[in-house]
C-alpha cells in the first residue's frame, strides 16, 4: 500500500511556466520533507514543513503543508531548465507509528525545456 | 564536514556473491538510515540505527541482508547470496533530531548491479 500518492508522475513544460506537484495521504505525518534528486545521485533536502497550514518559500519554490498534516504541495514559479529533476515528498512518523522512518512518494519527474 | 559519504559508488557482482557497502554519516548525527531505491520509484526504508542500536527493520530486509553500526559512527550493509532482484540504488541518510526536526541528509548512494 502506497501511503503517499504523488502527482503528477511526469511533467514536461517550457521555461517560464508555473507548475504544482501534489503529495497526498490518508495518514497524518509529524513532518514532511521535499527532496530533489539528480540521476545517479542521492536526494537533496529542499525543505521540511512541520506545522499544519505552514507555507515556506525558497526563491521560486513555495511549499505548503495541509492543515491536517496529511498532504503537501510544491509550486514552482517561472520554471528554469536547472529545475529539471526528480522531486520527492517524504513523510515522517506516519500515523504516529514509527518515528524516524521516512515514507516516500513515487516521485515527480520534471523536465523544463529551454 | 562534507556530508554523508558512501562507498563504493558502484558495484557490479555476479548472482550468489556477497557484497558490503559502507556509509559514513555526518559526524554529529546519531541516527543512520538505509533505504533502497529502484528505477522510477521513491526510496523504501530498510533499517535505522540510533547510535549503535538497530531500532527498526523493514520486512523488505530479508535474512540475506544484515546491517551494523558497531561504534555508532559508520555503518555497513551486507547482502549475502545476491539475487538479480537486489539490483537497486542503496541510499544512506543521517539525522540528529536534537539539532533539527529529524531532517535526513542523504549520501550519493551505491548503485548495485547483480548479473
pLDDT in single tens digits along all 115 residues of chain B: 579 999 999 999 999 999 999 999 999 899 999 999 998 899 999 999 999 999 888 988 889 999 999 988 999 999 999 999 999 999 999 998 777 677 899 999 999 999 9
Average pLDDT, chain A: 91
Q: What is the gyration radius of the CA atoms in chain B, in angstroms?
A: 13
Residue A97: the pLDDT is 60
Question: A21 pLDDT band (50/70/90 cuts)?
Answer: very high
Closest B-chain CA to A38: B108
Nearest Cα neighbor of B24 from B110, B112, B107 is: B107
d(CA B19, CA B29): 26
Best of A56, A86, A101, A108 to disrupt the B interface (most B CBs within 10 Å) is A101
Query: CB under 8 Å to A89, separation ≥6 — which residues?
Result: A4, A6, A21, A23, A32, A33, A34, A35, A72, A74, A104, A105
Residues in chain B whose beta carbon is closer than 8 A to a beta carbon of chain A?
Answer: 4, 6, 31, 33, 35, 40-45, 48, 50, 55-56, 91, 93, 95, 97, 100-109, 111
Closest B-chain CA to A93: B102
Question: A76 pLDDT band (50/70/90 cuts)?
Answer: very high
DSSP secondary-structure letter at B108?
A: -
Closest B-chain CA to A101: B45
Kindly state the average pLDDT of the residues A86-92. 94
Q: What is the gyration radius of the CA atoms in chain A, in angstroms?
A: 14
Residue A94: the pLDDT is 58
Nearest Cα neighbor of A38 from B108, B112, B37 is: B108
Residue A98: the pLDDT is 63
Tell me the torsion sign for CA atoms A74, A79, A80, A85.
Answer: positive
Cβ neighbours around A108 below 10 Å, total? 21
Kindly state the average pLDDT of the residues A101-110. 93
Residue A43: the pLDDT is 97
Residue A47: the pLDDT is 95
Amino acid at each position: 500500500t502506497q501511503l503517499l500518492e504523488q502527482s503528477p508522475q511526469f511533467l514536461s513544460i517550457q521555461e517560464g511556466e508555473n507548475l504544482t506537484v501534489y503529495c497526498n495521504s490518508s495518514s497524518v505525518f509529524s513532518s514532511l520533507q521535499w527532496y530533489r534528486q539528480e540521476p545517479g545521485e542521492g536526494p537533496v533536502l529542499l525543505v521540511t514543513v512541520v506545522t499544519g497550514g505552514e507555507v515556506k518559500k525558497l526563491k521560486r519554490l513555495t511549499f505548503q503543508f495541509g492543515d491536517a498534516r496529511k498532504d503537501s504541495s510544491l509550486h514552482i514559479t517561472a520554471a528554469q531548465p536547472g529545475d529539471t529533476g526528480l522531486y520527492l515528498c517524504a513523510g515522517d512518523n506516519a500515523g504516529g507509528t514509527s518515528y524516524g522512518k521516512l515514507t516516500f512518494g513515487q516521485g515527480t519527474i520534471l523536465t523544463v525545456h529551454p | 564536514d562534507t556530508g554523508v559519504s558512501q562507498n563504493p559508488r558502484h558495484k557490479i557482482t555476479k548472482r550468489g556473491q556477497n557484497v558490503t557497502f559502507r556509509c559514513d554519516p555526518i559526524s554529529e548525527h546519531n541516527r543512520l538510515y538505509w533505504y533502497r531505491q529502484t528505477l522510477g520509484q521513491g526510496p523504501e526504508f530498510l533499517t535505522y540505527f540510533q547510535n549503535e542500536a538497530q531500532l527498526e527493520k523493514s520486512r523488505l530486509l530479508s535474512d540475506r541482508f544484515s546491517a551494523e553500526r558497531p561504534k555508532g559512527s559508520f555503518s555497513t550493509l551486507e547482502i549475502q547470496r545476491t539475487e538479480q532482484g537486489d539490483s537497486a540504488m542503496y541510499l544512506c541518510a543521517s539525522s540528529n533530531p536534537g539539532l533539527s526536526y529529524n531532517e535526513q541528509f542523504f549520501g550519493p548512494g551505491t548503485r548495485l548491479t547483480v548479473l
